[in-house]
Chain A
């Protein structure tokens, strides 16, 4: 019997292009012999390449300058998400530099024959929302994009990771990528989540445990009863933030939940092909006895809603806790980093999280911009009002998420409560379109990064779940969403 393999190991092995990269002939001369034993990169075949306006223009320009073409436009999909305004799309883009970048992608898509979900296409949206939505994201695939949150697609048991622009060019030209095989990490979340505790809290708890550098050089496989019980939306939220733990990718073995989500989507096979695909996908799960390089276990029943207080996603505490004291950190580097973070965030050590007042609320992003996220938040918001002085916005992850939410009446729930209801895009997650925090403004955000200035220069970001963000919008400060359900509407 062959050696037991991990899920990621199986997908990897199925995509290694055999042939000359295995031969050390081009590595002769100094270091050649050692190279044969070193971490030789594999040449990985890429099944799906997602492209957006920000990290692709230089790659297409590289192709043009070298006279190269796109090898598989039929495995490539482009959309506009990072730069696009989320209101007033019938008007010219207020930022001429962004307008040029978007026009450049439109031109490149035409020139190289790549399908594009353009700004007025109902299928337009955040690149990591639209792949699964259209059924392009399937188990066992290799998926790349010039965007670090590509790990989202790992929720389907695909191997998905972010790449830089030079690598985008490499994939466009060759449909392959040279990659050293990462180590494998198992993160098992056992037990059952309590009420009001979400996938976002699970991943924030994981990052809190292993740190923002804990996953460097690894692919994380999320396992255990808590993960199995998550919806696909929840699994995407977890896998999305793998990069925030430093991991190359994160994935989850496909199961009945995965298959039920996929069935009937536009690019999912039907009939006999569906049956044979199911058989293939069902064999992907990690074999019993497969070895991981690193193993971490969390008790899911102990996870409660998290709020970040600092300037990286591991700097978080539970909503019932307080802003930490730098002196409580174990090393001088961490004490200094904590002091810096508290200064930037304008927070005093010892302040109860629930006393932190907010100015803005952002519901959206590739982390929490899917229909289930909007439903959950709407459940908190329904019949209530956004607190005075708080500006809150909902930005659906795609045009189709927006339409679905409107069909369910969620837009009315949000707008009646005082939320802005916007068009799909990355919006306030990353501060490169008109949706930004002003200097000194403090947000409760369902996005993925609380880095200094991430949502706009001088802005202060607290990462939370959609339910926690909705509750903060109503209260004007952080509250434990588990208490909110008992409030009157």
Chain B
């Protein structure tokens, strides 16, 4: 994973609660075996509406997406994160995110920033009124700010996740460095008490 530090850009206002992963990337596009190429199908059904925000050229190049509670609900498909990255989005702002989706974002280096409803209200209205205005998300200082600095909020992030994102660390590599611990755990319990899938 590439290290993540600052995301600066236009913000796309997606003013709907409970946006589910079937909207982000419909199941019929999950049949491929690659990690890339999902962007063109992101929000496919909603994009068929010419008034949908993604069809508004004023938001072309947006790098931040603002939405409502429980964003990313539903399926565990990491393709949802790949699809959002395929749109060029690197940070998401919402009052809450679905757990599996949030975990998948961490894996892919997409920032999930949880802010209180009133802050999301403000950013949503601002993005709707001023499509060209930019936001800056800075992971090191844990702040979301308007580009002119007139509005800024601190966001919480788990220190472990922050550390990982800032350094672009690979979870598997870190865990394999502790392989002895895993081997010791297996040796220290009654492994035969657990079912084997091999005959």
| A-to-B contact residues, CB < 8 Å | 17-21, 26-27, 30-32, 34-35, 38-41, 43, 45, 47-48, 54-55, 57-58, 61, 66, 68, 71, 73-77, 82-83, 95, 97-98, 100-101, 104, 114-115, 135-136, 138, 141, 146-148, 150, 161-167, 169-170, 173-176, 178, 180, 182, 212-213, 216-217, 243, 246-248, 267-269, 273, 276-277, 280, 312, 333-334, 336-337, 340, 430-432, 449, 451-454, 457-458
For the complex, is B100 an interface residue (Cβ under 8 Å from A)? yes
| A55 and B33 contacting across the interface, CB-CB below 8 Å | no
A147 and chain B: residue at smallest CB distance: B76
For the complex, is B150 an interface residue (Cβ under 8 Å from A)? no
Q: How many A-B residue pairs have CB under 8 A?
A: 228
Of the A-B pairs whose beta carbons lie under 8 Å apart in the complex, a sample of 14, sorted by A's number, is A19-B178, A45-B186, A55-B77, A61-B35, A74-B197, A147-B76, A148-B100, A164-B107, A166-B104, A173-B172, A213-B69, A267-B196, A430-B22, A454-B22
Q: Which residues from chain B contact A180 at a C-beta distance below 8 Å? A: 158
For the complex, is B63 an interface residue (Cβ under 8 Å from A)? no
| A432 and B28 contacting across the interface, CB-CB below 8 Å | yes
B140 and chain A: residue at smallest CB distance: A30
Q: Which residues from chain A contact B112 at a C-beta distance below 8 Å? A: none
Q: Which of B34, B35, B76, B162 has the most CB of A within 10 A?
A: B76
| A19 and B18 contacting across the interface, CB-CB below 8 Å | no
Q: Separation in Å of the B169 CB from the closest CB of chain A? A: 9
Q: Roughly how many angstroms separate A446 CA and B198 CA in the complex, as a whole number? A: 33
Q: Separation in Å of the A66 CB from the closest CB of chain B? A: 7
Q: Separation in Å of the A314 CB from the closest CB of chain B? A: 8
With A163-B100, A248-B100 given, name 6 new contacts (CB 8 A). A34-B159, A164-B81, A164-B100, A216-B96, A337-B17, A457-B45
| A74 and B198 contacting across the interface, CB-CB below 8 Å | yes
| B181 and A17 contacting across the interface, CB-CB below 8 Å | yes
Q: Roughly how many angstroms separate A98 CA and B28 CA in the complex, as a whole number? A: 9
Q: Which residues from chain A contact B186 at a C-beta distance below 8 Å? A: 45
A430 and B185 in contact, given A136-B195, A216-B96, A217-B99 (Cβ under 8 angstroms): no
| A312 and B20 contacting across the interface, CB-CB below 8 Å | yes
Q: Which residues from chain A contact B198 at a C-beta distance below 8 Å? A: 73-74, 115
| B107 and A166 contacting across the interface, CB-CB below 8 Å | yes
Q: Which residues from chain A contact B28 at a C-beta distance below 8 Å? A: 431-432, 457
Q: Roughly how many angstroms separate A43 CA and B32 CA in the complex, as a whole number? A: 31
| B163 and A35 contacting across the interface, CB-CB below 8 Å | yes
| A39 and B69 contacting across the interface, CB-CB below 8 Å | no
Q: Which residues from chain A contact B168 at a C-beta distance below 8 Å? A: none
Please tell me which one of the listed residues A26, A34, A166, A432 contacts residue B31 in the complex, with CB atoms under 8 A apart.
A432
| B-to-A contact residues, CB < 8 Å | 16-18, 20, 22-23, 26-28, 30-35, 45, 68-70, 73-79, 81, 96-100, 103-104, 107-108, 140, 158-160, 162-163, 171-172, 174-182, 184-186, 193-199
Q: Roughly how many angstroms separate A174 CA and B180 CA in the complex, as a whole number? A: 11
Q: Which residues from chain B contact A101 at a C-beta distance below 8 Å? A: 31-33
Q: Roughly how many angstroms separate A17 CA and B189 CA in the complex, as a whole number? A: 11
Q: Which 4 residue pairs spanning A and B have beta carbons closest together? A: A19-B181, A166-B107, A35-B159, A164-B78
Q: Roughly how many angstroms separate A208 CA and B178 CA in the complex, as a whole number? A: 43
Q: Roughly how many angstroms separate A128 CA and B127 CA in the complex, as a whole number? A: 42
A75 and chain B: residue at smallest CB distance: B197
Q: Which residues from chain B contact A146 at a C-beta distance below 8 Å? A: 76
Q: Separation in Å of the A194 CB from the closest CB of chain B? A: 30
Q: Roughly how many angstroms separate A453 CA and B75 CA in the complex, as a whole number? A: 14
Please tell me which one of the listed residues B26, B69, B74, B100 contacts residue A431 in the complex, with CB atoms under 8 A apart.
B26
Q: Which residues from chain B contact A182 at a C-beta distance below 8 Å? A: 99
| A212 and B22 contacting across the interface, CB-CB below 8 Å | no
Please tell me which one of the listed residues A31, A41, A97, A247 contacts residue B32 in the complex, with CB atoms under 8 A apart.
A97
| A18 and B185 contacting across the interface, CB-CB below 8 Å | yes
| B34 and A58 contacting across the interface, CB-CB below 8 Å | yes
| B178 and A66 contacting across the interface, CB-CB below 8 Å | no
A163 and chain B: residue at smallest CB distance: B76
A20 and B178 in contact, given A34-B159, A141-B194, A166-B171 (Cβ under 8 angstroms): yes
| B98 and A246 contacting across the interface, CB-CB below 8 Å | yes
Q: Roughly how many angstroms separate A87 CA and B20 CA in the complex, as a whole number? A: 30
Please tell me which one of the listed residues A47, A61, A83, A216 contacts residue B99 in the complex, with CB atoms under 8 A apart.
A216
| B31 and A83 contacting across the interface, CB-CB below 8 Å | yes
Please tell me which one of the listed residues A31, A71, A148, A269 contacts residue B75 in the complex, with CB atoms under 8 A apart.
A148
Q: Roughly how many angstroms separate A246 CA and B195 CA in the complex, as a whole number? A: 29
| B22 and A449 contacting across the interface, CB-CB below 8 Å | yes
Q: Separation in Å of the B150 CB from the closest CB of chain A? A: 26
Q: Separation in Å of the A358 CB from the closest CB of chain B? A: 21
| A277 and B193 contacting across the interface, CB-CB below 8 Å | yes
Please tell me which one of the listed residues A35, A277, A312 contacts residue B18 in the complex, with CB atoms under 8 A apart.
A312
Q: Which residues from chain B contact A18 at a C-beta distance below 8 Å? A: 181, 184-185
Q: Separation in Å of the B161 CB from the closest CB of chain A? A: 9
Q: Roughly how many angstroms separate A21 CA and B171 CA in the complex, as a whole number? A: 12
Q: Roughly how many angstroms separate A167 CA and B103 CA in the complex, as a whole number? A: 9
Q: Which residues from chain B contact A83 at a C-beta distance below 8 Å? A: 31
| A176 and B33 contacting across the interface, CB-CB below 8 Å | no
Q: Which of A147, A161, A162, A165 has the most CB of B within 10 A?
A: A165
